[in-house]
Structure 1
Amino acid sequence: MNQFDFTHDYHSYANTNEVKVTHFDLALAISFDKKELSGYANLAIEHQSEQLATQLVLDTRDLLIDRIENSQGQSLNFTLDEADDILGSRLAVDLIGDDIWVKIYYKTSPQAEGLQWLTPAQTSGKKQPYLFSQSQPINARSWIPLQDSPKARVTFNAKVMAPQNMSVVMCAESNNEIEYPGVFMFRMPEPIPTHLMAIACGDLAFKAIGERSGVYTEPSMLEACAKEFEDTEQMINIAESLLGPYRWGRYDMIVLPPSFPFGGMENPRLAFMTPTLIAGDKSLVSTVAHELAHSWTGNLVSNATWRDLWLNEGFTTYFTNRIVEAVYGKEMAELEVVLEYGRLMEEFKIMPVEKQTVTANVQTEDPNNAFDRFTYDKASMFVHDLERRLGREDFDKFLLTYVEHFAFTAITTEDFITYAKQTLLVDHSDKISEAELLEWIHGTGMPSWFVAPTSSSLEKVIEQQKLWLDGANATALTVEGWSVHHWQYFLTTLPEKLTVTKLLELDSCFAFTESKNAEIAFAWFTVAVRNNVEQVLEAVAAYLKAIGRGKFVKPLYKSLIDAGYSTLANEIYQDARTGYHPSIVGMLDDIVKS
């Protein structure tokens, strides 16, 4: 008998079964001197039964609560519990009668895990400080007192006051009809999960790249970012042709400073992007497609708990590949699936068998642990397998009706299974059975019938790699026309052990150590470090100090330690730590022991 109730969100204190926050009005002032947001959140609540709830239970982390009032200005009693290391503090507010508003005056902590405060020196322009948030998975509670659960969707209005000559953007429609210097107004009329709450403030410039898309970033980077992402409007059109109308108005992006810990974050109307995507050749823009794809699978249809993350990431990773195929061609799409599968196979080697499922078994763990190759890549392989079995035309019909059926809804894995039994397994009983469906969702390893993805485009890479491994000089290799994906495959599939001499010869020919492409540099550094190529260590240190993207920095620190460079890893980390986002520092602290 399973000990968990899969309808319950174990990462939230919120009593959503009794009373729900459906909307809030936010008024905040930004202080870079104090590294705090201060103001109020006025929460609109909705009782879930005729028996009125007597308490509203919210999630907080390191918030200083000044006072709480109802709509009549009456003070409401509240209790703020001791903080749990993962969940933060439970805030219980005593309600009076049937009043539907609870106004909380508060301040954030300078150490708020969902906010990063950068000095001018940590920005490109070097003149103004910078602030940005990262609310996923449960960090919205560190800057807004909310029912911080993916099942608790909310609409909101916001007024944000910023220092002079600085701009503020949020995951919402700008609503600046009345202009006051330093005051920015926002409105989000569609209900969103709280982990998609987002704010950024800095020296920002904007450039439109389509009728309903554009990019924000620091002025010095604007032209390069706009050029890199110029295909975004085409991506939106392709996505709409597959999954129906784009429901969020605009799709703007902001390219953040290098300390942003992820490739991207799918905040509605304002996707956050890492500057490591700006390669100059559009070779890494599948991340743009991924965050856009979330506008349907993740933002429109979302996970009800962090166990169900695969419903976001598996479908989105698949859908990303479809967008890439339509915009950049079948070869690039096939290469990306092969690389995706390769990453999954590497994670199989280190993940305990019981955790090799698409569902994330994190009910008693930090929800950050849900973000692994199984909730992304194994789940994506499941969706690819569904397409193969049904045929693309029939699968597209299923995907479209699935998204329309659950639009603006948070669902569990069990909800998906029930829906699949009523639709997929009825309409296509000759192509997939219930047992096969459940094997994908609950089984460990890969199903026995699964066939690994391939790409004929990799034959030339395999051939040239073999030539080099068999003794040919790197200068003799035929690599003309190779893409980033070809080089990634070449590097990531090299044998574990190679000689320093051979690797230096490869680097002298192709200059991987100096590569400005973050993916190629990472793949090369991983190979070089595990083989103790000490000539690259200075470049590795510079790389780790220049970017904060978790996909790169976490495994590189681990590679350094595994290769015997623990002291160096610690020295680099001590220099770089203050530049990393708080949401990733805790994970890095566990990897790099001081």
Structure 2
Amino acid sequence: MGRIDPHSFTESSEPATRHIGLALYLDFPSSTIVGSALFTLDTPHTGPFSLDTRGLTIHSVLSPETQTPIPFSLSAAHPISGSQLSLTLSNHTSFLISYTTSPSSSALQWLLPPQTLAKSHPFVYTQCHPIHARSVFPCQDTPAVRIRYSALLNIPSHLSAVMAARHLHRRQPREGDLPSAASWCSPGRVVEEFLMDQPVPPYLFAFAVGGLGNRKVGPRTRLYAEDVPALLDSAAAEFAGTEEMIREGESLFGPYEWERFDLLVLPPSFPYAGMENPRMVFLTPTVVKGDATGTHVVAHELAHSWTGNLITNKTNEHFWLNEGFTTYAERRIVEAVQGEQRATLNIGIGWRGLNEDVERFKDNLEFTKLKNNQEGIDPDDVYSRVPYEKGFQFLWRIERQVGRPSFDEFLKKYIATFKFKSIDTETFIDFLKANIPGIENQVDLVLWTEGTGIPPDAYEPDSSSYKMIVSLANEFINGRMPREDEVADWQGQEWELYLDNLPKSIEASQVIALDSRYKLSESKDYAVKVSFLQRAISCGCRDYYNEVEKTLKEVGMRRYLRLLYTALVKGSGKEDDKVFAKRIFSEARECYHPIAQGVVEAIFAKHL
């Protein structure tokens, strides 16, 4: 029958996994997990059955009722998909797999105490999106298959665990929790027990273990981070308005289905701004800016509670269904809570980013399409703002055509119809045409979803504040810096938009003068700092290379790494900059998550 996903070995003729019971022994000295996974399938199955793995050592596969072996084989590793675990089932509904992860698991980052903020305890966390869950446990690692799971995490007793699931108990280990681990009941260990009883795609499996503290933020939200009081207090203050955003989300999109909306601020190596894991959103510490402007990231991850977590793209070829919808929903929440001007600034920054990434893919326009072909493509390699911002522009175009009240009604019906399901672009288009009759005659749906580049009816923001900032940036080429009275009310997003729109042909002396007045290289907002440093590199202003090195060694967010390393090895064109970039990466590499390491290595492979 064939595979259901170009990034998975899952076959359409095989039943879906209904539930996985995981028991995981986290061994910090070896940076590995000894695990067992008890699978329950939707229906009994006889014949071949395929699972995705990456870097896993499979010790045994057993029938849980009889403890008899089930034949299995593991294919050679594919560079993108990993290894196919093939089982031969005989009317089985369940089976038990015992395995060990690799120290180089692509989803796991194991941090030694010196690599953490508190520098007192080790730390480990997962990042399973888009296809990295298979490096933590065997699974049908495709968003087309939604699973429920339970998990026992056996950890050192001086550490704590959090998970994108309901926490049930913290207890002593018991014999039989994990039969394959002789050290399961060792002294100084505890078990944290979790349950996710709502079906989620495997990429939303997430946990973190370390020396954690917490602060209450709202009735449904608790803030977790390393147990550093200053970080906990500042993050709790930054996200104090979370409950208001949840309520606005509910009014716009329907009930919040996940009970809790807790937040975890991770160590600086976390490769994304945020990850929408249900019940426990993961965040980079760079969103804690001290002025509440980082809340748009939380708004984005919150919006995923409806668009992405409730309704999921069936494969990564339809990723825009997650991110385009969520970017639209995020901006509606920001508009309701922080005002239309703040939402417009977000749209403006996104518009600039969309244009940059369309230019980035000018030699491979396939990845400027919303619905694209990713056969043989690593989704990490083509990750960009296109599905976010072009997807947003598509939905915004429909809203302008039918009016906001009608579009709001459509959105609520869409979410209610497809919640807890995974769909593709065709399913969305069919639902759109059925519920907004004639829309295909008013908006070119094929051009928007299957066409390359930016459609002509996309829309640059048209507010006075947005136009003023872009105009000020364009005047910089003539030596006109913004006056202090013009920027008195600016926060990070205004500066980010300004810097992103500066002309490319600016002189080093102009960059130095701008920084002398506004201290942008010292900004605590990394979006501002990185945008400034990017421009300093491009005009050969070596005065800031110490700050570039410091930034690349203290932050592991993949977007910032991509911007700065690309500027060094491509933008400046100087051999000294390439040597500088390679030295920094060799010294900082182990502090980056494996996903971020791959981003930098891909930049070097392309440009060095």
The TM-score range, normalised by the shorter chain, is over 0.9
1:147 aligns with 2:140: yes
Partner deviation per Cα, 1:20-78 (whole Å, 9 max, x = no partner): 21101110111110101112000101238xxx431221000010111110122111110
Q: Which residue of 2 aligns with 1:171?
A: 164
Counterpart residue number, 1:248:
258
1:401 maps to 2:413:
yes
Q: Secondary structure at the match of 2:152?
A: strand
Report whether the alignment pairs 1:559 with 2:571: no
- Alpha-carbon separation, structure 1, partners of 2:138 and 2:327: 31
Shift of 1:462: 4.2
Matched, 1:295 2:305: yes
Residues 237-259 of structure 1 show CA distances to partners (whole Å, capped at 9, x for unaligned) of: 00000111011110111000000
Query: Aligned residue for 1:318?
Result: 328
Task: Note if contact 2:366-2:372 (Cα within 8 Å) is conserved in structure 1.
Answer: no
Matched ranges for 1:36-47 at <5 A? 36-47=32-43
Do residues 79 (structure 1) and 73 (structure 2) align?
A: yes
Alpha-carbon contact 1:167-1:202 (below 8 Å) kept: yes
What SS does the aligned partner of 1:349 have? helix
2:353 is aligned, of 316, 338, 343, to: 343
CA displacement at 1:206 relative to structure 2: 1.6
The structural deviation recorded for 1:449 is: 3.0
Is 2:280 aligned against 1:284?
A: no
Instruction: Structure 2 unaligned segments of length 5 or more: list them.
Output: 174-188
For 1:152 and 1:124, locate their aligned partners in 2 and report how far apart those are by CA, in whole Å. 37
Q: Which of 366, 390, 401 is matched with 1:378 structurally?
A: 390
Identity within the alignment, %: 35
2:25 alignment partner AA: A
Cα contact 1:59–1:145 (8 A) shared by 2: yes
C-alpha change, 1:348 and 1:39, in structure 2 (3 Å) is: closer
Q: Tell me, in whole angstroms, the C-alpha distance in 2 between the residues paired with 1:434 and 1:222.
A: 50
Secondary structure at 1:99's aligned position in 2?
A: strand
Say if 1:307 and 1:370, in contact at 8 Å, map to a contact too.
Answer: no
- 1:322-364 per-residue CA deviation (whole Å, 9 max, x = no partner) reads 0000111110001110110111112222313343211232122
Paired residues of 2:476 and 2:503 also in contact (CA < 8 A): no
When residues 466 and 177 of structure 1 are mapped into structure 2, their CA distance, relative to the original with a 3 A threshold, is: closer
Map of 2:185 onto structure 1: none
- The CA distance in 2 between the partners of 1:446 and 1:570, in whole Å, is 35
Tell whether 2:209 aligns with 1:216.
no
Kindly report which structure 2 residues correspond to 1:178-257, keeping only aligned pairs within 5 A, or say none.
182-220=190-228, 221-257=231-267
Deviation at 1:466, TM superposition (A): 5.3
SS at match of 1:124: coil
Q: Which amino acid aligns with 1:18?
A: E
For 1:471 and 1:273, the matched residues in 2 are separated by: 38
Alignment of structure 1 residues 447-466 onto 2, 5 Å: 447-465=455-473
Question: What residue identity is the alignment partner of 1:282?
Answer: A
| Contact kept in structure 2, 1:254 and 1:272, CA below 8 Å | yes
- Closer, same or farther in 2 for the Cα pair 1:17/1:206, shift >3 Å? farther
TM normalised by structure 2 equals 0.93
Alignment of 1:435-514 (within 5 A): 436-465=444-473, 468-472=476-480, 478-514=486-522
Partner of residue 184, structure 2: none
Greater Cα shift, 455-464 or 535-544: 455-464
Aligned partners of 2:307 and 2:55: how far apart in 1?
31
1:419-440 Cα distance to aligned partner (Å, 9 max, x none): 222222x2xx2x5527612221
Contact between 2:32 and 2:102, CA under 8 Å: does it hold in 1?
yes
In 1: Cα distance, 2:472 partner to 2:359 partner: 27
The SS at the match of 1:162 is strand
- Please tell me whether residue 366 in structure 1 is matched to residue 378 in structure 2: yes
Rounded Cα–Cα distance in structure 2 between residues aligned with 1:570 and 1:236 = 44
Q: How many Å separate the matches in 1 of 2:223 and 2:318? A: 31
Which 5+ residue runs of structure 1 have no aligned equivalent? Answer: none
- RMSD, matched Cα: 1.8
How far has the Cα of 1:587 moved from its partner? 2.3
Between the aligned partners of 1:101 and 1:454, the Cα distance in structure 2 is 57
Q: Counterparts in 2 of 1:413-452, with a 5 A limit?
A: 413-424=425-436, 426=437, 429=438, 432-433=440-441, 436-452=444-460
1:130 lines up with 2:123 in the alignment: yes
CA deviation string 1:122-162 (max 9, x = no partner): 11111100000000111000011111110111001111110
AA at the equivalent of 1:29: Y
Kindly report which structure 2 residues correspond to 1:110-129, keeping only aligned pairs within 5 A, or say none: 110-129=103-122
SS at match of 2:277: coil
Bigger drift between 360-369 and 579-588 goes to: 360-369
Which residue in 1 is equivalent to 2:53?
A: 60
Amino acid at match of 1:264: G
What is the TM-score with the length of structure 1 in the denominator?
Answer: 0.95
Q: Aligned pair in 2 of structure 1 residues 384, 545: CA closer, same or farther (>3 Å)?
A: same
